[in-house]
Structure formats: C-alpha cells, structure tokens
C-alpha cells in the first residue's frame, strides 16, 4: 500500500505544477519571466485559466510557508512590520527620491527627505527584505521592479 503524501509535499507539488504551466506559457509566447529587477514585468498578462494557476500556486505557497514556519514562528513572523516601511515609503515619496535608472546612498536619501540616516537605512533595509528597492552594493539603494512601480504609478504609491 502506498503511503499517503504529507500536506507539505502536496502543496509543493501544487506549486510545482502550476508554476510549470505558467513558465511554459511565458516561454511559448516569448513573454518576460517574473523578475525583481527594476525592468521586470509589472504584470504577467496571463489568460484567465493561467491566472487561476497563478492563484493556486500563490495559495499553496502561502500555506506551505505557514506550515513550515510552525505555530510559534507563525505567531511571531512580524508581517505587521510591513505596514511600517510601506507607510514610510509613501509618506516620504521614496519611489520618486531614488533615481529610476540610477542609485543613491542612504546618506543622500536621508538628506533629501530630512530624516536621520540610521532610521532611513533600517526602514529601507526592511523594504529590501520584501523586495521593494534593492541594494546593489553596501550603502547604496536602487529600484527593484516593485519600487519602480511606486515611482511610475501614483495610484500605487498613495
């Protein structure tokens, strides 16, 4: 008798199946693959049936993430901290303070917005951990695909 799969194995298989479908579609249609780079696609432009695959993969990956954390880590995972950096980015319009096709030091950014450089560094590093902005080298901030969207789409930034 075959042993039943664990829930985490089922979820991993779901993620693999649905991401493979999306990957094949993007390759077959010569569309750009998802990327965190500043020139990465803002939207995948998937047809409805593949949007369903995308949703299934995202749901499964979130459940897998939650299960692998376990109850203790799940309680203390600090997702609420995301609100802190998003509010800071919006309040100081950081999407437009970082050059679109360039970079800026933490000190220059802090001087531009009139905030303590240490605070700017800590909050922007938190945003970088969630792939909003990137640090091409120590002490320097540049756009990621997500932060570039903040700069280019005023509705998102608000």
- What pLDDT score was predicted for residue 64? 95
- Reported pTM: 0.68
DSSP assignments along 49-107, one per residue: HHHHHHHHHHHHHHHHHHHHHHHHHHHT--TTHHHHHHHHHHHTTHHHHS-TTSEEEHH
Decide: 135 and 141 in contact? Cβ < 8 Å: yes
Angle between helices 106-113 and 117-129 (to 10 degrees): 110
- What pLDDT score was predicted for residue 155? 76
DSSP assignments along 129-143, one per residue: HTTSSB-SSTTEEE-
Q: What is the pLDDT along the chain (158 residues), one digit of tens a residue?
A: 455 679 999 999 999 999 999 999 999 999 999 998 888 898 898 999 999 999 999 999 999 998 998 877 876 776 766 788 889 999 999 999 999 999 999 999 999 999 999 999 999 999 998 889 999 999 999 999 989 998 998 777 56
Tokens of 106: 């933490």
User: Going from the N-terminus, what domains does the chain have, and what CATH number goes with each?
Assistant: 7-75 (no CATH), 81-157 (1.10.10.10)
- What pLDDT score was predicted for residue 158? 60
- What pLDDT score was predicted for residue 77? 74
- What pLDDT score was predicted for residue 80? 67
Q: Could you tell me how far CA 149 lies from the centroid of its own chain? A: 12
CA-CA distance, 131 to 62, in Å (whole number)? 17
């Amino acid at each position: 008798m075959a042993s039943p799969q664990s829930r985490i194995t089922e979820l991993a298989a779901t993620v693999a199946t649905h991401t493979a479908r999306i990957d094949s579609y993007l390759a077959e249609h010569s569309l750009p693959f998802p990327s965190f780079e500043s020139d990465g696609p803002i939207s995948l432009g998937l047809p409805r049936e593949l949007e369903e695959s995308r949703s299934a993969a995202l749901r499964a990956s979130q459940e897998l993430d939650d299960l692998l954390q376990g109850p203790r880590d799940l309680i203390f995972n600090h997702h609420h901290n995301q609100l802190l950096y998003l509010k800071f980015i919006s309040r100081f319009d950081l999407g437009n303070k970082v050059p679109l096709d360039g970079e800026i030091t933490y000190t220059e950014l802090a001087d531009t917005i009139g905030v303590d450089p240490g605070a700017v560094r800590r909050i922007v590093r938190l945003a970088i951990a969630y792939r909003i902005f990137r640090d091409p080298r120590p002490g320097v901030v540049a756009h990621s695909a997500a932060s570039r969207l903040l700069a280019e789409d005023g509705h998102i930034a608000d």
